[in-house]
Amino acid sequence: MRSTLVIAFSLCLLLGLHPSSGVGESQRAQARSADTAALDHGRYLVEEVAKCAECHTPRDADNQLDRSRWLQGAPIWIQSVHLTPNWAQFAPSLAGLPGFSDEQMQRILEQGLGANGHEIEPPMHVYHLNHGDAQAIVAYLRSLPATATH
């Protein structure tokens, strides 16, 4: 361990870098900036484009989305105008992605296939997102608290 530190320190000096020159901090700042950008993009896609909260967030007594239970899962309130087999009765929780692996969620978003490998049930939209958008959505949903705090 000590010899590794000595070698690393020597390399820094040979390259003209001081070990505390902030190079590592700059890289960490860039990584944080990229993470923030991915979360912002995922939030935008979830909240502004797909409008996931409309079905996956419970409503309060005034029929407004309950922000304290954001994307915590809710009964499906919309009905099909035609008899539709496999019409889901409950939208699962998306906050924290409980019960979903990243790969399962990406398959849902990229291929329209549920965790069981079958097409997702209506009224859920079938999406064919690119991998980057699916990853941003997964990152955003993972960032949300998995249980409501009251």
The predicted model scores a pTM of 0.75
Look at residue 43 and tell me if it is in a domain: yes
pLDDT tens digits, residue range 69-99? Answer: 999 999 999 898 998 888 999 999 999 999 8
Is 61 inside a domain boundary? yes
Number of domains composing the chain: 1
Residue 9 belongs to some domain of the structure: no
Residue 51 lies in a domain: yes
CATH number at residue 50: 1.10.760.10
pLDDT at 4 over 60: no
Q: What's the CA gap between 88 and 114, in Å, rounded?
A: 13
Identify whether 25 is part of a domain: no
Structural domain of residue 139, as residue ranges?
Answer: 32-143
Confirm whether 4 is domain-assigned. no
Q: Is residue 55 part of a domain?
A: yes
What is the Cα 125 distance to its own chain's centre? 17
Cα 118 from chain centroid (whole Å): 21
Residue 26 lies in a domain: no
- pLDDT tens-digit series, residues 14-57: 444 444 445 577 666 666 766 889 999 999 999 999 999 999 99
Stretch 64-70: mean pLDDT, rounded?
Answer: 95
